Chains A and B, each alone.
Chain A
């Protein structure tokens, strides 16, 4: 095809094009199939019987005057052929498909019929294919006949059914493929929407029909707007956080002038708490501006050092695991996460143990305590940001309730998972599972 077709750009245009195409194909195929009717043939003995019957019937009818011909035709009707006499050619015979092959078969047996303007057509009655036809008499009236039983076609059977089914199947296939192709960008859009919020944003390629391109364009712009909005808010909050540290520093220096040691200690505790809240908020928002790069660290020593640091400050924290285990992580983020878990455990249980357990394909860092644990129904909820289990009035914990959210996002950043579970026999087990490939193990 040298003609260059303009692909319709709109969704409606495309669906129309697909419909048009299928209709064209259907039309072409059924025309072909009709044409092929002329190629039908019958068994030789049937063609011969038909030929003989026609010759005899024509001869008998032609010998009788016209008035007696209908009656004779009735008599000539057998269980196999229905015969009628008609003064003119019945109209139905013009439209049915011709049967060239059968015509030739008949002619082969009775060449005399060649002068009789024999017409043969295929018609169907219910599920049966029947042959109808006519021959002219010398006085230009017509002998009309039809077979009363289904003709035995030589090539009747599964192949013909298949032939009839083929275009339908092809059409379903073609239109399915085309519609699928057309809606492919839609699927990419859905995937991008699912991805949004779980990592970096990625523009979806603006492809496909006009309407889809508009939707994708709008989605891309919305994505960028949301991203900018989040970035702006985060930046603003981070700036507020940083700025709050200056008045806090003033307050702390002023507090040093308080002579009453109890009041001084209380003010100092308040300032420490406020500073902890700002730090956790900034860590949660990623507002410290640090995009930590993954570094190769000795994970076992990292855990041991956290335990040692806590032990040095009089807390009952132990490390249990191998002496060395190297792994690539973001160490500051992971340390903050582990410190949050240790702080929680020490707060609620008074003690804890950090365990490093290499498991298949991963390494688990577990912070286990013998405390009261967490009610099963709250295990998921407690990982949400700003959720705290102790109600506001009896609150004695420091912070916003961001600790576990920070742990969860630290684990996520490493492609790992964070899980809380109550231990058998009491206590809580907080587990950070970090994937490791064979190379880093």
Chain B
């Protein structure tokens, strides 16, 4: 019932970064935005920091000397479900996908600024809070009408198995429609949801997004299963299964 509301205590973040100056700068940026930071420069220090008390989030640089960030992420996951954000200097898509599939919650490429850092942390913490309360948000796949939405990879697969590329906003809209399948979701609610999407500076309307999504989800003479409810909003009118 507290879903979406900020927690009462200051969130604590464990920051694992081997570059001393970047560690200091990142810690300061987070502290200035109201977070408690426990810095660590290596894997052993991280384990110590995690034992010092409850932790709300781990910010993990994957390129630590001597340890693979991927392995470290897996090790944390085995012990705890604390949200993890990957920091990586590699723009590598494989790293990103592997990290997200291993259970990291988000990915932050270097070089990042204060605004992006805080936005991601905030988004992951909010999602984490919601998850703990409702324990509902799945990590895997959503299927409807032959289509498959892979949540960690943020990927949509067509009935024939081809990857169907969507913009970030379109993907979020689709996930929201899937989350509310069978129910009508109002335009106002969709606008509100799309505003909270981080880094979103675009100015297109929900109607444009819906019409694009319909076109991309159409299937050889078979219209997309997104129905307009006049004067109210939209609904996905096919059964949705999760795995």
* A residues at B contact (CB < 8 Å): 242-243, 245-246, 248-256, 268, 271, 275, 279, 282, 288-290, 292, 295-298, 301-302, 304-305, 308-309, 311-314, 323-324, 326, 331-332, 335
Contact = CB atoms under 8 A, between A and B. Distances in A.
B113 A289 contact: no
Contact of B163 (A275, A282, A331): A331
7 contacts: A242-B89, A246-B89, A248-B110, A256-B114, A297-B162, A298-B162, A301-B164
Interface stretch (B20-28, B133-141, B180-188): B20-28
A290 B21 contact: no
B102 interface: no
Interface in B14-53: 19, 21-22, 25-26, 28-29
A206 B27 CA distance: 61
A271 B111 contact: yes
Interface string B103-138: 000000111111101000000000000000000000
Contact of B113 (A242, A253, A290, A335): A253
Nearest to B117: A253
Given A251-B111, A288-B90, 18 more contacts: A245-B111, A250-B21, A252-B112, A253-B26, A253-B28, A253-B114, A254-B25, A255-B113, A288-B92, A289-B94, A297-B162, A298-B158, A302-B165, A304-B215, A313-B202, A314-B202, A324-B220, A326-B162
Interface stretch (B4-12, B70-78, B166-174, B230-238): B166-174
B171 to A, nearest CB: 10
A373 B203 CA distance: 30
Interface of B: 19, 21-22, 25-26, 28-29, 63, 89-94, 109-115, 117, 158, 160-167, 169-170, 201-204, 212, 215-216, 218-220
B89 A245 contact: yes
A252 B113 contact: yes
A313 B90 CA distance: 25
A422 to B, nearest CB: 30
Dominant SS among interface residues on chain A:
helix
10 closest A-B pairs by CB: A312-B202, A249-B111, A248-B111, A245-B89, A245-B110, A253-B25, A256-B114, A297-B163, A242-B89, A305-B165
Contact of A249 (B90, B92, B110, B204): B110
Contact of A312 (B109, B110, B169): B169
Contact of A290 (B93, B117, B163): B93
B90 A289 contact: yes
Contacts of B22: 246, 249-250, 253
A313 B203 CA distance: 8
A326 B216 CA distance: 12
Contacts of A282: 91
B149 to A, nearest CB: 14
B216 A279 contact: no
A288 B96 CA distance: 12
